[in-house]
Every structure is written in C-alpha cells, then in structure tokens.
Amino acid sequence: METNETKGMHETGEIQESAGTKGGKLLTKRDITKSWLLWYLACEVSNSFERLQSIAFCICMGPILKKLYPDKEDYCAALTRHLQFFNTQGIWGGIVHGITIALEEERAKGAKDITDETITGIKTGLMGPFAGIGDTIDFATVLPIILAFFIPIAQDGNWIAGVLPITIFTIITGVEGYSFWHLGYKAGTASATQILQAGWIKQLILGASVLGLFMMGGLSASLVKVSTSLKITAGGMNLVVQDILDQILPGLLPLLTVGGAYLFLTLPRKSGKKVSFIVLVVAILIIGLVLGALGILG
C-alpha cells in the first residue's frame, strides 16, 4: 500500500523529470534554434563602442536564461553576467554561444565549479580565435568568390546579379551559423579545443587564403584597366610599349597598380598611423590625371 509520503516522493520525481528533457537536458533543440535565430537577426544591430555585441548576446540568451533560471534574481544576475564586452564573428562565433548555453545549463543543474568567472573567461578567450577564422573564410574568401562569379553577369546588365549573390551568401552563412551554434552546445567546451587544435582548420584557412589570392588576381586583371600609349622609335620602327608589356606578361600594369596600392596601405609609417582609403583614392586620381595629361597613360 502506497503511503502519502511515498506518493509525494513519486510526484516530486515526476515534476523534476518534466522540468528537463531526455538525458537530463533542461533545454530542447527548439530552444537552441530560437536562440541562434535571435542572434542571427540582432548580432550587428545593437553594436556600441562600450559593449559592442553584448546587447545582442543578451537578446539571444534571454529565452534560454529565463527557462534555466525561473527565479527573477537568478535570471537578472545571468543577464548582467552577459552584459560585459563581447565581440566576435557572427557566424563562426556561434560556437562560443553554444558553449556558453551548455555551461549555463550545467550551472542551472547545480554544477558548483561553473562560476561567473568561468563563463566570462571562456567567452573572452574564444571570441578572438573564431572571429579570425570566420572573417578569413566567409568574408575574405567565400564572398569574393561569389561576387567574382556574378560580376561579369552584372556587366552584361542582368538584374539577377544584384539578387543572387546576397541570397547565396545568406544561405551559406545561415547554414554555417546554425551548425556551429548546435555544435558548440552539443560538444560543450571540448568542441572549441578540438576545432582550434585540429590540423584541418589550419589547412582550410591556408587553402582559403590561396584561393582568395587567385580570385583577387583574376579580378585585378579583369576589372582594373591600366594601359600606356607610349611609343618608342628604334631603328626606324615605332614600337608600342603596351604591346611589348603584353608579350612579357599580360595585365602587368594592372598588377603593378594593385600591388602598389596594397603596399601603400600596408607599409609602416613613421607616425604609426594607417593610411586612409580616401587618401589612396585621391592619390590614384591625381596620378592618373597627371600621367594622362602627359600622354603616358592611354
């Protein structure tokens, strides 16, 4: 015969079990996906010089923290914990968010070794490395490749070139962000160590960098138009300098122009200040006008 005390213990166990999901999880896949979607929509909207992406971080963590910490004081303390400075790449940096969600869940389940300093330290330590990886792959490689493919189409006047690049890039980054977000949550802190220490990530970055250099070289040769109208008279023959250069290396002058602009922007200055792109544009404009007036450029 079941006593009132035993019945109460069964009811308590049922309540505790219903509070989580299978495997002792307090959060569902839907909760994690909702958090990712909030970040994807807000990560570049609320930036400030003082905290950068911390407001967006709190926006995406809000529903998670509210479910993990029903007590208002605990919930407010968790939000305050995530109001500290945060900045990373919005796609690959999702691994950091997934790890943070996993840590918060373990803390809500009673893990005593997960302190405020632990969560903040992991966020701060990981946001830089993943930002560098994400910027290199997404914005320095994937996006230029997509744009390079559609630039000739745009030059032909096809309107689709103004729509498909941003659509394709949005789909690619959306799939990446969703995958990294759930990867970080499922694997926890171990995922970050495995990804950063894995040899394939270095190979991927190297390959992406090389591919990006090829694409930039192709774009420079096809889009930067620089030619000379100089002619040289030798032995009674008029030699066109541009024809000679094309025989040596087609696209040599555009290559030298792009290389000169790159060196102008990257060479260290005695003052330690970087050169503005506006200064570079004005310098190219003046040089072009002067050489054109002298008949050197045609």
Integer CA distances (angstroms), 182 to 102, 140, 160, 243, in order: 10, 24, 33, 57
Question: Following CA atoms 182, 187, 189, 193 in sequence, which dihedral angle do they give, to the nearest 10 degrees?
Answer: -100
Place of tokens 């774009």: 219
* pLDDT at res. 174: 92
Q: What pLDDT, on the 0 to 100 scale, is given for residue 221?
A: 67
pLDDT for the residue numbered 19 = 40
At residue 117, the pLDDT reads: 81
**pLDDT given for residue 42 in this prediction:** 87
Q: How far apart are CA 234 and CA 215, in angstroms?
A: 39
Listed as own residue / partner, the contacts of 230-238 with beta carbons closer than 8 Å and 24 or more positions apart are: 230/295, 230/296
Separation in Å, CA 194 to CA 85, 96, 183, 198: 25, 13, 11, 6
Residue 204: Cβ-neighbour burial (10 angstroms; 0-12, 13-18, 19+): middle
- Which pLDDT score is estimated for 200? 53
- The structure tokens listed for 168 are 């394709």
The reported pLDDT for the residue numbered 172 is 93
> In this predicted structure, what is the pLDDT of residue 214?
67
> Taking the alpha carbons of 27, 76, 181, 117 in that order, is the dihedral positive or negative?
negative
SS3 content of the chain, % helix, strand, coil (to 5): 70, 5, 25
Beta bridge partners of 232: 239
Q: Which residue stretches of the chain have pLDDT < 50?
A: 1-23, 192
In three-state secondary structure terms, 52 is strand
Q: Name the strand (E) or helix (H) holding 37.
A: helix 29-42
Q: Which is nearest to 129 in space by CA: 88, 85, 181, 76?
A: 88
Phi and psi based region of residue 157 (left: phi greater than 0; alpha: psi -120 to 50; beta: remaining): left
Spatial CB neighbours of 296, under 8 Å, sequence gap ≥ 6 = 228, 229, 230
Report how far residue 201's alpha carbon sits from residue 192's, in angstroms, rounded to the nearest whole number.
Answer: 12
pTM across the whole model: 0.59
pLDDT recorded at residue 15: 35
Token code pair at residue 264: 């102008």
Q: Could you give the CA distance from residue 84 to residue 121 in angstroms, rounded to a whole number?
A: 11
Q: What is the pLDDT of residue 12?
A: 38
DSSP assignment letter at 86: B
